[in-house]
């Protein structure tokens, strides 16, 4: 009630201050000028009686003259200082059941003179109703409506100013913006937001925004003041659950160790995180995850072993393997020719496979967790055998394949002999049902004139899996050198021998002398100096002893087969590794380069002893 009385007093004061000058009329109150009729003054003894007669006895406002007359009454009351009495009279008349329009019009003018804006407005509102009900009234409605709007504006302004003096405000900002603002439980708007005028007192302010924790606080409002509120909202915490296989793995969150799996973390500030999971002997994993407000992030991580396995296929026997510069020792694999190395650390490694006489294989390998990484370990022979120079070669499949050379006295060498050839061994094994030759179970002849049981042969040059030999048939003796041959690689072999001088024999492999001994058929050491009285005059064979009697054959390739009636020096032997000899070279009695053949006949470039191919023997390039 007290606030209402104060408000009424303030409004009344403002209306008086803002009222128009009683002696001045606004444009909206002006009436179209008319010619004034002379006013006949009469003696008035009772002002109220005069007012009554003028305002009540006259017709309703019918002309502009009637309006002028009412204004003159007001002016006279002002001049005679009797405006209050006129006001009382008009207010009394306005309360009657039927009120003439001139009474209301006159009352509005009195209120206007006295600056009673609100009262004037109400009188005009009542007069407006009279005008609408009496179409015959001649009245300048612009006077009513224009004055009414002016008064309304003044009243609203005064009320607003008075109200502002009695109310306060709340201005709310938030980070982030867009939070809903509730005042005493009622939604008012979204931040940034300023309330309408509020009465003095305490209010409950609440801010709500998706993904953020609700905020609530009590705000005190004071009249005429604005209370500013700025709040930083907090994201709703999230949760993180980490499981790993294997369990017991260490977890680092943004570089900080926070525990071991299985791990559950609550109240995590929503954000982006780097999560590292590691365990000894396993590859660590780094995950980039986003924790959402109010959500549970579950991670199921499988760590891969930090070890894998290495398998080397087609492994070259006796090769040495280096892994990252360190020599390693391999295990035999289940498959033939395979070597394995287990528990190799995951990642990229340098591997080198080496063997003397072979090109080194170097590679980078990637070891993958719990998987087998394979590499081909078949080394390529580093040999003077040149496929560009030595083009074609003789191929024998080891089964009844051979070449035959008709007997020639030039090949029946009884003093000095040198034999050279390139050989490529495909397979060293031999049919176990075939009889042995001089104790050799896997003998592979290169060139031979074998004895026939009654007449001594001249010579045989060949290999087995474990040695290379030169057989001197005349005295049932052989010179043998231990050497472990390997399949699927080229060798250059040579022998030089002067008969009657056993100590003068030399056998070469790839240009290097290999030491050996003379033995008889029983393996007893002998001097190897004897010579036969005569020799067989049978054919010589390439890749066989004697296909009619002993079924042992060479399997693989033979090239650059040469027979000399001289002793070749070590220098000459090594030179022959790289090039072909001249066909007319001194001492060359037999030479097949296998580049010239026709109708299963290979040309002899050392003499006239052409080679006849038998079985499936053929020239290969």
Query: Looking at 271, 302, 333, which one is the last position of a domain?
Result: 302
Please tell me the distance from the alpha carbon of residue 175 to that of residue 195, in angstroms, as a whole number: 18
Kind of pairing, strands 167-175 and 226-232? Answer: parallel
Residue 35 lies in a domain: no
Contact call for residues 418 and 458 (beta carbons, < 8 A): no
8 Å CB contact between 19 and 112: yes
C-beta of residue 515 within 8 angstroms of C-beta of residue 507: no
Contact (CB, 8 A) for 12 and 47: no
Bridge partners of residue 491, in order along the sequence: 423
Q: Are residues 210 and 336 in the same domain?
A: no
Instruction: Return the DSSP state at 54.
Output: I
Q: How many CA atoms lie within 13 A of 328 on its CB side?
A: 21
Domain count, the chain: 5
Q: Looking at residue 53, what DSSP letter applies?
A: I
Whether 483 and 540 share a structural domain = yes
| Element holding 87 (H helix, E strand) | helix 83-94
608 shares its domain with 505: yes
Alpha-carbon gap, residue 487 to 485, rounded angstroms = 7
For residues 261 and 135, membership in a common domain is answered with no
- Candidates 601, 462, 468, 611; CA nearest to 539 is 611
Judge whether 255 lies within some domain: yes
Q: What is the spatial distance between Cα 184 and Cα 170, in angstroms, rounded to a whole number?
A: 13
Integer-rounded Cα Rg, in Å, for the chain is: 65
Give the SS3 label for residue 78: helix
Q: In terms of domains, do 368 and 436 share one?
A: no
Residues 122 and 181 in one domain: no
**In this structure, are residues 535 and 561 in contact, taking their beta carbons and an 8 Å threshold?**
no
Specify the pLDDT at position 268.
93
Question: Which letter does DSSP use for residue 593 in this model?
Answer: -
Q: What is the pLDDT of residue 144?
A: 60
- Mean pLDDT per 10-residue run, the chain (621 residues)? 39 38 38 38 56 66 78 89 91 86 87 88 82 61 65 75 76 96 95 92 95 95 91 95 95 95 93 94 92 94 92 91 94 90 92 88 92 90 75 92 93 89 87 56 83 68 90 74 89 90 85 91 77 75 86 91 95 89 88 92 92 94 84
Whole-Å CA distances, 277 to 244, 269, 369: 8, 20, 16
Strand partners for 117: none
- Give the end of a domain, one of 302, 321, 348: 302
State the pLDDT at residue 528: 73
Distances (CA, A) of 568 to 386, 456, 538: 21, 25, 26
CATH number for the domain including 346?
2.60.40.3070
Q: What is the pLDDT of residue 431?
A: 59
293 and 312 together in one domain: no
In a domain, 148, yes or no: no
* 459 occurs within a structural domain: yes
**For the chain, counts of helices (H) and of strands (E):** 8, 43
Q: Of 387, 390, 386, 385, which Cα lies nearest the Cα of 592?
A: 390
Tokens of 170: 């709340």
Q: Residue 405 and residue 210: Cα distance in Å, rounded? A: 102
Bridge-based pairing of strands 256-260 and 320-323 is: unpaired
47, two tokens: 């002002």
**Distances, alpha carbon 486 to alpha carbons 207, 318, 590, in Å:** 88, 10, 28
Contact criterion met (CB below 8 Å) for 404 and 541: yes
- For residue 257, what are its two tokens? 């160790």
Check whether residue 223 and residue 251 sit in a common domain: no
The CATH code of the domain that includes 587 is 2.60.120.200
In a domain, 383, yes or no: no
Rounded to 10 degrees, what is the CA torsion of 292, 293, 295, 296?
70
Per-residue pLDDT, 22: 40
Which CATH number is 249's domain given? 2.60.40.1120
Alpha carbons 351 and 326: distance in angstroms, whole number:
9
Q: Which of 232, 260, 276 is the last residue of a domain?
A: 232
Distance from chain centroid for Cα 218: 51
CA atoms in the 13 A half-sphere facing the CB of 298: 1
CA distance 60 to 136: 9
**Residue pair 394/557 in contact by the 8 Å Cβ criterion:** yes
Residue 513 in domain:
yes
Handedness of CA 457, 462, 467, 469 (dihedral sign): positive
Determine the Cα–Cα distance for residues 480 and 440; give it in Å rounded to an integer.
11
416 and 335 within one domain: no
User: Which whole-number Å values give the CA distances from 518 to 7, 69, 382, in the listed order?
Assistant: 142, 169, 31
Predicted confidence at residue 351, as pLDDT, reads 96
The answer to whether position 154 is within a domain reads no
| Token reading at 131 | 């005008």
Domain shared by 251 and 312, yes or no: no
Residue 121 lies in a domain: yes
**Of the candidates 517, 461, 515, 520, the residue with the CA atom closest to the CA atom of residue 493:** 461
Q: What's the pTM?
A: 0.48
Three-state SS for 269-327 is CCCEEEEEEECCCECCEEEEEECCCCCEEEEEEECCECEEEEEEECCCCCCEEEECCEE
Do 212 and 321 belong together in one domain? no
Domain that holds residue 203: 168-232
Please check whether residue 588 is in contact with residue 581, taking contact to mean a CB–CB distance below 8 angstroms: yes
Q: Are residues 448 and 582 in the same domain?
A: yes
Tokens representing 33 are: 């000028």
Angle at which helices 101-114 and 83-94 pack, to 10 degrees?
A: 140
CA dihedral 539, 540, 546, 552 (to 10 degrees): -160
H or E element at residue 120: helix 117-133
């Amino acid at each position: 009630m007290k606030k209402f009385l104060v408000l009424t007093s303030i409004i009344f004061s403002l209306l008086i201050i803002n009222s128009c000058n009683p002696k001045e009329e606004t444009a909206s109150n002006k009436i179209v000028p008319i010619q004034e009729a002379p006013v006949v003054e009469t003696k008035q003894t009772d002002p109220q009686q005069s007012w009554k007669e003028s305002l009540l006895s006259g017709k309703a406002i019918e002309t502009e003259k009637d309006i002028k007359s009412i204004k003159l009454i007001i002016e006279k009351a002002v001049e005679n200082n009797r405006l209050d009495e006129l006001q009382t009279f008009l207010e009394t008349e306005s309360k009657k059941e039927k009120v003439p329009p001139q009474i209301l019009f006159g009352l509005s003018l009195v209120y206007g003179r006295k600056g009673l804006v609100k009262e004037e407005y109400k009188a005009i509102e009542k007069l407006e109703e009279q005008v609408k009900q009496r179409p015959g009234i001649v009245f300048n409605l612009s006077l009513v409506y224009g004055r009414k709007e002016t008064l309304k504006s003044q009243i609203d302004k005064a009320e607003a100013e008075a109200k502002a003096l009695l109310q306060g405000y709340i201005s709310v900002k938030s980070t982030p913006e867009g939070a809903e603002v509730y005042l005493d439980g009622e939604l008012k708007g979204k931040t940034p937001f300023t309330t309408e005028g509020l009465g003095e007192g305490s209010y409950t302010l609440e801010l709500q925004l998706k993904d953020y924790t609700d905020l609530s606080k009590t705000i005190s409002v004071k009249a005429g003041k604005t209370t500013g509120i700025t709040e930083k909202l907090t994201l709703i915490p999230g949760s993180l659950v980490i499981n790993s296989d294997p369990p017991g793995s260490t977890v680092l969150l943004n570089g900080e160790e926070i525990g071991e799996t299985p791990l559950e973390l609550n109240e995590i500030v929503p954000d982006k995180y780097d999560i590292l999971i590691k365990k000894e002997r396993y590859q660590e994993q780094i995950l980039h995850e986003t924790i959402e407000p109010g959500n549970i992030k579950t991670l199921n991580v499988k760590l891969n072993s930090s070890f894998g396995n290495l398998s080397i296929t087609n492994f070259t026997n006796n090769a040495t393997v280096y892994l990252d510069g360190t020599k390693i020792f391999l295990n035999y694999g289940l498959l033939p020719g395979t070597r394995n190395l287990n528990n190799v650390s995951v990642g990229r490694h340098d591997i080198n496979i080496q063997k003397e006489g072979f090109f080194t294989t170097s590679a980078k390998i990637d070891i993958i967790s719990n998987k087998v990484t394979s590499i081909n370990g078949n080394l390529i022979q580093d040999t003077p055998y040149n496929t560009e120079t030595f083009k074609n070669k003789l191929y024998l499949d080891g089964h009844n394949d051979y070449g035959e050379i008709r007997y020639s006295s030039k090949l029946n060498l009884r003093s000095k002999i040198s034999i050279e050839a390139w050989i490529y061994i495909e397979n060293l094994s031999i049919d176990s049902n075939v009889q042995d030759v001089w104790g050799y179970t896997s003998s592979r002849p290169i060139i031979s004139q074998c004895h026939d049981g009654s007449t001594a042969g001249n010579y045989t040059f060949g290999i087995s899996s474990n040695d290379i030999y030169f057989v001197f048939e005349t005295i049932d003796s052989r010179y043998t050198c231990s050497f472990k041959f390997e399949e699927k690689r080229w060798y250059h072999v040579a022998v030089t021998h002067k008969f009657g001088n056993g100590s003068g024999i030399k056998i070469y492999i790839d240009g290097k002398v290999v030491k050996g001994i003379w033995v008889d058929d029983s393996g007893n050491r002998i001097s190897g100096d004897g010579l036969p009285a005569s020799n067989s005059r049978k054919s010589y064979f390439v890749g066989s002893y004697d296909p009619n009697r002993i079924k042992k054959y060479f399997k693989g390739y033979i090239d650059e087969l040469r027979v000399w009636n001289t002793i070749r020096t070590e220098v000459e032997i090594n030179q022959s590794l790289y090039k072909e000899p001249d066909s007319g070279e001194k001492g060359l009695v037999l030479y097949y380069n296998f580049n010239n053949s026709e109708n299963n006949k290979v040309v002899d470039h050392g003499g006239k002893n052409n080679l006849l191919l038998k079985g499936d023997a053929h020239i290969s390039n």
